[in-house]
Amino acid sequence: MVFQKRRRLKLAALATFVVLLFLLGLAYFLWKEPEPGFQGRSLSEWHRIWLDSVDLRHPSLARQQAAEAAIRQIGTNAIPLCLDQFRRQARGSYQVIAVLANWLPERVATGETLYSLANHGHTFHASSVFYILGSRASPALPQLTEMMYSTNPALARDSVWCLGYLGKDGLPPLIAALDRPDLPCCPQAERRLGTEEVIQRSGTNLAVAVPGLVKLAMSKDSELCAKAVTALCQVSLEPQVCIPALEYNLSSYDRKVRFAAVMALLRFRATNSLASALSNTNENVHRWARYSLDSLLSGTNIYGSSVPAAWWVTNGAFFSKTDSAVAPTRNP
């Protein structure tokens, strides 16, 4: 009897503990963190208006501009919440919620309710807020830089992307990330530096990123190499520094790298380099170089936002079935 009584007490204590734990967890998710606001609307409300206004199904420039102006008025008061959101979404518990959401109906999984529960009642997207604030978010530079060096891929990605929104102030940490190929921030920084947005916001200041990208373009890591070559292609600065590295990669063992190198040489209008590539032993490099030279000599604009893929496919210049069997002319 005494043994059974003790057992019942232990089970009751365990049940109480589980219920308390559940209630604490529920309170944690249901607790709504205070938000800064403007003109009677919270940051989440203004973000919702902005999100609706940029929806291609019913765009509204006036509402978009009004929402952006309001979020800029909220300004740096939004930064702590945005940084907390990045850290929260990088945690394992948030990732579990994201995985479980895949089992829910799409309308529920992508709705505001679930997102709000997982983000302390907030429905704004931190990356969108940084995008709207732009250089006004520069006070977040130290925290974003610290987060950038995280070994958590999601945290590194979010911080690197937001550093690109800061304009010239965000360039130094992005360039510094190129020296850390052992961390997730390195490939993310390569991609970010090659985006049109960073190029437009930074202009010729982006030339300081070229040496780091050239160094990675000579890397034995094919993924880092391909991203670096692609970024050099997009940045299109310092040709005297870039072209030798691009020529070197024409003999890469990775066909993504070879293709990116040809496209970059085309972007730089490096006719001598492309002419030399005609003697390359790789069938595809020869073909890509020939079509690139044809386009330069004929004045055809095959390098643009939507033209290249259609042009290459039309001219049969994409990877042939035999490409994978071609022996590399450069050791990994």
Output the pLDDT for position 324: 35
Output the pLDDT for position 204: 83
Output the pLDDT for position 317: 42
Output the pLDDT for position 8: 67
Query: Is residue 249 a contact partner of residue 225, using CB atoms and an 8 Å limit?
Result: yes
**Contacts with 162 (C-beta within 8 Å, 6 or more apart), sequence order:** 126, 127, 130, 137, 140, 144, 170
pLDDT (tens place) for every residue of the chain, 332 residues total:
556 666 666 666 566 655 544 444 444 444 467 888 899 999 989 999 998 898 878 888 999 999 999 999 999 999 999 998 888 877 765 566 566 556 656 555 455 555 565 666 677 889 999 999 999 999 999 999 999 999 999 999 999 999 999 988 999 999 999 999 999 999 999 999 999 889 888 888 899 999 999 999 999 899 999 999 999 999 989 999 999 999 999 888 888 898 889 989 988 988 888 888 888 888 878 888 888 888 877 766 555 433 344 434 444 444 333 343 333 334 33
Q: How many CA atoms lie within 13 A of 219 on its CB side?
A: 25
Phi, psi of 110 (to 5 degrees): -100, 5
Phi, psi of 286 (to 5 degrees): -60, -45
pTM score of the predicted model: 0.74
CA 239 from chain centre, in angstroms, equals: 26
Cα dihedral sign, 214-307-160-88: negative
* Paired residues of 41 in beta bridges: 38
Alpha carbon distance 65, 71 (integer Å):
10
The phi-psi region of residue 134 (left if phi > 0; otherwise alpha if psi is between -120 and 50; otherwise beta) is left
Measured between its terminal Cα atoms, the distance across the chain in Å is: 74
Output the pLDDT for position 285: 84
Alpha carbon distance 122, 59 (integer Å):
23
Query: Is residue 190 a contact partner of residue 218, using CB atoms and an 8 Å limit?
Result: no
Output the pLDDT for position 272: 87
